[in-house]
Structure 1
């Protein structure tokens, strides 16, 4: 974990102090929160394929969130923003779609993966802490942001797709149907939403509205499937994409199911991490989009980067790493 403490030096300049360590370390959290008035909690373990044990996920994503909140109360940090995930909302096991939903859209969903379970539990802990009495007599205000799929420079998911396409002769394998559209968010806009929510929690009037609530965060990136988003980012570099999924969706789901069984059988003797699971197949093949208008209304969220700028920035980053990735692929 990397903690950044931000303060002004009195001359209008911003000073950033970096503290590296384990988010489960109470003393580290105390040092990071000392003197702070606002905490952005973005640290978590992300696991899409069962590579991380549940105990580890729970310790980092849930227990450490509770510990950080306790530290904020002891250090009288007045505002706390939790970076949640779209996966706490779904899609559910049946792959029921949501198109342009919102925070009040009814939808039955029990978290599919251990990752989504721990993120949801941590989000609930965060929101329940809203209004807690601080050591100095004030009260804590909390909110949670649920970004849609975040893309941009540095995105590991996009980088992995680039590597796969290089190994496949500059062709991207399709796992998602074109009709399974989601509304991703550019990393710059996701970061901006956190800053704007932070300002709202410092405003007495907005604080009363925003505190204790969660918000979906997206931008004006076109509604598009996961695979087609990656293709839009990679196509200027000479990559193509398959027209149809590599297998019918029901066969992909069945294959993922057998891989999960194999993983469970081998768990005690061999560390096997399947490249595919049912959660991933369901997620990338379910239309799942949400409006970000509540964030606009209640804390003034307004995306700064349009689709063209976001795409160009991400493609430029991919172009910068492409030569090294090709050399690495040739060696293996």
Structure 2
């Protein structure tokens, strides 16, 4: 097999970092180009340690900069596109749409111009929903063709971008070759360095170790970050295989693992109970009331918009997302990509707990210094 190279966008992110580390183990890989708007010094140090295995080229740049994107793609064999803006407070609607949709289009066009034949897109479960907290979806699958109804910037931008990516499969490259694309839709991703988990734990640390119970009505199948990264590696291998690629191009895959089905609140509790954390025992508001309160807050935001920008603390989309029964099978990924979770639930839990332990230690040290 000839030497090859891969560009990873969003390489400074929670998932991107894991993908880069797993990529470094791939056969005949000559170069990994890591691209992000900025990298933390400690991450650059981590990446420099990989130089003994593979050449790591750091590219700081914006995917909205066409010139920068073209240079990043030049002479590359594949693109793994994880870069996107996730903002559930929807404070930057135009930025979210631009980065998530236009940025993806820029990358696809650059692949055509630079003859990059493989494009793997990190999509989102939110492309599929949930659309109603009353609807129960258990072990959903790709053939159901579910689609979000929400017009909030994040789910709608991911839905549009995924469609663009899948429609680009089969495009003719400048040199006459063919572009092969596919998309992966991970469940809610947890693991060390998760920004959501970080904010949940920090809130609990400032509240005597009591975790929020806002999301207790959900039943989901969260997925460990290492397993999502592994699915990207397997998709890359499959698209590089001339026999497998035709069956995979233009397809999307749900990515879950063997983490037990549970609510978001229970996941946080199961990852932190050994440190003495507990779930808030407060009286929970009935879901229908929460939903209509969100509606009223959205109406207030709309009516005030000509004179004042009011961002509701939560929306109907957030209430639905965090309180639905919404689980999916990884059977298709297993069949087509040969995907099997690389990390068991026990390993995933252990790795995440060790990280939570380090956060608690940091918090205690900071408290001591303040006193």
TM-score when normalising by structure 1: 0.91
Return the alpha-carbon distance in structure 1 between the equivalents of residues 66 and 145 of structure 2. 38
How far does residue 167 in structure 1 lie from its aligned partner after superposition?
Answer: 2.6
1:31 maps to: 71
Task: Report the CA distance shift for 1:277/1:133 in structure 2 as closer, same or farther (over 3 A).
Answer: same
Task: Report the CA distance shift for 1:158/1:32 in structure 2 as closer, same or farther (over 3 A).
Answer: same
Task: Report the CA distance shift for 1:51/1:163 in structure 2 as closer, same or farther (over 3 A).
Answer: same
How far does residue 275 in structure 1 lie from its aligned partner after superposition?
Answer: 2.9
1:96 maps to: 135
Consecutive unaligned residues of structure 1, counting only runs of 5 or more, are none
Return the alpha-carbon distance in structure 2 between the equivalents of residues 255 and 51 of structure 1. 20
1:153 maps to: 192
- Indicate whether 1:169 and 2:191 are aligned: no
Task: Report the CA distance shift for 1:72/1:245 in structure 2 as closer, same or farther (over 3 A).
Answer: farther
How far does residue 276 in structure 1 lie from its aligned partner after superposition?
Answer: 1.8
CA contact (8 A) 1:2 1:20 kept: no
Return the alpha-carbon distance in structure 1 between the equivalents of residues 130 and 364 of structure 2. 35
How far does residue 263 in structure 1 lie from its aligned partner after superposition?
Answer: 3.2
Task: Report the CA distance shift for 1:2/1:215 in structure 2 as closer, same or farther (over 3 A).
Answer: closer
TM-score when normalising by structure 2: 0.82
How far does residue 94 in structure 1 lie from its aligned partner after superposition?
Answer: 5.5
- Indicate whether 1:52 and 2:74 are aligned: no
Residues 237-252 of structure 1 correspond to what in structure 2 (within 5 A)? Answer: 237-243=275-281, 246-252=284-290
Deviations along 1:194-226, whole A, 9 cap, x unmatched? 000000000011100100000000100001111
How far does residue 242 in structure 1 lie from its aligned partner after superposition?
Answer: 3.0
CA contact (8 A) 2:10 2:82 kept: no
Residues 199-238 of structure 1 correspond to what in structure 2 (within 5 A)? Answer: 199-238=237-276
1:303 maps to: 341
Return the alpha-carbon distance in structure 2 between the equivalents of residues 113 and 253 of structure 1. 16
2:171 maps to: 132
Residues 315-330 of structure 1 correspond to what in structure 2 (within 5 A)? Answer: 315-325=353-363
CA contact (8 A) 2:133 2:321 kept: no
Match of 2:75, SS state, is: coil
User: In structure 1, which of residues 120, 143, 149 is the aligned counterpart of residue 182 of structure 2?
Assistant: 143
CA contact (8 A) 1:93 1:112 kept: no
Return the alpha-carbon distance in structure 2 between the equivalents of residues 325 and 272 of structure 1. 32
What is the number of residues matched between the two proteins?
328
Return the alpha-carbon distance in structure 2 between the equivalents of residues 136 and 74 of structure 1. 9
2:15 maps to: none
Deviations along 1:35-94, whole A, 9 cap, x unmatched? 1111001001112122222x2221111111111100000000000000000000000145
Deviations along 1:280-310, whole A, 9 cap, x unmatched? 1111111001100100110111111000111
CA contact (8 A) 1:78 1:134 kept: yes
Match of 1:204, SS state, is: coil
Task: Report the CA distance shift for 1:49/1:12 in structure 2 as closer, same or farther (over 3 A).
Answer: closer
CA contact (8 A) 2:10 2:81 kept: no
CA contact (8 A) 2:269 2:279 kept: yes
CA contact (8 A) 1:166 1:329 kept: no
Match of 1:138, SS state, is: coil
CA contact (8 A) 1:89 1:109 kept: yes
User: In structure 1, which of residues 263, 268, 271 is the aligned counterpart of residue 301 of structure 2?
Assistant: 263
CA contact (8 A) 2:127 2:147 kept: no
Q: Which moved more, 1:313-322 or 1:75-84?
A: 313-322
Q: Which moved more, 1:103-112 or 1:34-43?
A: 103-112
Return the alpha-carbon distance in structure 2 between the equivalents of residues 220 and 181 of structure 1. 14
CA contact (8 A) 2:133 2:325 kept: no
> Larger RCO: Structure 1 or Structure 2 (Cα < 8 Å, ≥ 6 residues apart)?
1
Match of 1:134, SS state, is: coil
Match of 1:289, SS state, is: strand
Match of 2:219, SS state, is: coil
Match of 2:59, SS state, is: strand
1:192 maps to: 230
2:100 maps to: 61
1:123 maps to: 162
Match of 2:244, SS state, is: helix
